[in-house]
């Protein structure tokens, strides 16, 4: 399989925190959602990919090239959008277009103007007069206009209203129709990931808990609702974590279809990305 991004055994140590032994692969033509609680290490992973933070161990390849060895070549192929817009607040979008055309060999002014228009962004208004959502939309317009093959979004949609977020998600889906392209998106808006992610990687306290296909999550995870009696006779191997609520137990299981064949009367709903986060982080474990 061809990968857009390959991370092998990445370790980054800060004084009080460490991202440990992370390995991830994003196949071309796919979107990977990166999830984890605040402070889990998502931005640290992204920053080491971009060499904003120096890795301590491991290797990172983008389109088969080591990102540290071929940094300038690799950066032509990637676009990164953070949760804040870093353009000079006194600049206007038309000047930004001129500046970007000098930075990126593949800059496409026509595409840029198309996105400014689609996002209703005035070319001659200063960035400091833009709302947060408008600034984020400008970042997306810039990112899509130098024809990158890998898009990295770090909480980039968090300030956008649901309508614009959906517009961006649709653009991401169109973007990976070209199966040379790929996306890594870190987001706390897990419902966005439910809509677009092909893979989910879950980071918790600096470690990778798992990478799974979204299909696997949809097909196999489930939330069982049951009373105490049933909970007590459950096979412990079926249970990942549970929550005891006032009148029932809610139990995260990872073999929904097999479980339902055995427990034909059981009420088991599909689990989404938010359920996984909440149960893995806050649920109780069966000892």
Ligand X SMILES: Nc1ncnc2c1ncn2[C@@H]1O[C@H](COP(=O)(O)OP(=O)(O)OP(=O)(O)O)[C@@H](O)[C@H]1O
| Site membership for ligand X, residue 38 (CB under 6 A) | yes
Nearer CB in complex with ligand X: 115/199: 199
| Site membership for ligand X, residue 17 (CB under 6 A) | yes
| Site membership for ligand X, residue 162 (CB under 6 A) | no
Residues with Cβ < 8 Å from 21, sequence gap 6 or more? 9, 10, 11, 58, 207, 208
Quote the least distance from Cβ 116 to ligand X, whole Å.
Answer: 29
Nearer CB in complex with ligand X: 15/102: 15
Q: Which stretch binds ligand X (CB under 6 A): 31-39, 92-100, 170-178, 254-262?
A: 31-39
Select from 31, 35, 36, 223 the one that contacts ligand X (CB under 6 A): 36
Quote the least distance from Cβ 42 to ligand X, whole Å.
Answer: 4
Q: Which stretch binds ligand X (CB under 6 A): 36-44, 56-64, 140-148, 207-215?
A: 36-44
Closest CA to 40 of 22, 66, 25: 22
| Site membership for ligand X, residue 40 (CB under 6 A) | yes
Residues with Cβ < 8 Å from 106, sequence gap 6 or more? 76, 146, 147
Quote the least distance from Cβ 57 to ligand X, whole Å.
Answer: 16
Q: Which stretch binds ligand X (CB under 6 A): 42-50, 69-77, 120-128, 243-251?
A: 42-50
Q: Where are the alpha helices (DSSP H) in 11-161?
A: 42-49, 71-76, 93-103, 109-118, 132-144
Token pair recorded at residue 54: 């120096």
**What is each CA distance from 194 to 69, 78, 156, in whole angstroms?**
35, 24, 16
| Site membership for ligand X, residue 97 (CB under 6 A) | no
Quote the least distance from Cβ 43 to ligand X, whole Å.
Answer: 3
| Site membership for ligand X, residue 43 (CB under 6 A) | yes
Please give the Cα distance from 211 to 60 (Å, whole number): 17
Sheet strands side by side (includes 150-154): 65-66, 57-62, 3-13, 18-27, 207-213, 199-204, 31-35, 182-186, 150-154, 78-81
Select from 44, 187, 201, 211 the one that contacts ligand X (CB under 6 A): 44
Quote the least distance from Cβ 10 to ligand X, whole Å.
Answer: 12
Question: What residues from 197 to 256 belong to the interface with ligand X (CB under 6 A)?
Answer: none
Quote the least distance from Cβ 33 to ligand X, whole Å.
Answer: 13
Cβ proximity of 7 and 58 under 8 Å: yes
Q: What is the DSSP string of 106-134?
A: T--HHHHHHHHHHTT--TTS-GGGS-HHH
Please give the Cα distance from 194 to 189 (Å, whole number): 9
| Site membership for ligand X, residue 39 (CB under 6 A) | yes
Nearer CB in complex with ligand X: 206/283: 206
Quote the least distance from Cβ 41 to ligand X, whole Å.
Answer: 4
Cβ proximity of 41 and 87 under 8 Å: no
Quote the least distance from Cβ 44 to ligand X, whole Å.
Answer: 3
Binding residues for ligand X, per CB under 6 A? 14-15, 17, 36, 38-44
């Amino acid at each position: 399989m061809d990968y857009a991004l390959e991370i092998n055994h990445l370790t980054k140590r800060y004084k009080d925190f460490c991202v440990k032994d992370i390995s991830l692969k994003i196949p071309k033509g796919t979107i990977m959602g990166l999830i984890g609680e605040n402070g889990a290490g998502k931005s640290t992973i992204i920053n080491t990919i971009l060499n904003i933070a120096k890795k301590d161990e491991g290797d990172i390849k983008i389109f088969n090239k080591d990102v540290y060895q071929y940094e300038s070549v690799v950066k032509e192929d990637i676009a990164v959008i953070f949760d804040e817009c870093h353009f000079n607040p006194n600049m206007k979008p038309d000047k930004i277009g001129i500046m970007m055309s000098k930075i990126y060999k593949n800059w496409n002014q026509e595409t840029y103007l198309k996105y400014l228009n689609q996002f209703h962004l005035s070319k001659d208004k200063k960035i400091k007069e833009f709302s947060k959502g408008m600034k984020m939309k400008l970042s997306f317009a810039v990112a899509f206009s130098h024809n990158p093959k890998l898009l990295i979004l770090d909480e980039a949609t968090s300030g956008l209203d649901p309508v614009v977020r959906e517009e961006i998600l649709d653009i991401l889906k169109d973007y990976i129709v070209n199966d040379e392209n790929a996306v890594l998106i870190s987001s706390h808006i897990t419902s966005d990931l439910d809509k677009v992610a092909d893979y989910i990687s879950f980071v918790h306290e600096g470690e990778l808990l798992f990478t799974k296909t979204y299909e696997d999550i949809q097909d196999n995870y489930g939330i069982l609702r049951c009373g105490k009696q049933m909970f007590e006779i459950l096979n412990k191997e079926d249970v990942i974590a549970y929550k005891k609520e006032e009148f029932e137990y809610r139990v995260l299981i990872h073999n929904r279809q097999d479980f339902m064949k055995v427990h034909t009367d059981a009420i088991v709903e599909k689990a989404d990305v938010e359920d996984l986060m909440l149960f893995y982080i806050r649920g109780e474990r069966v000892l």
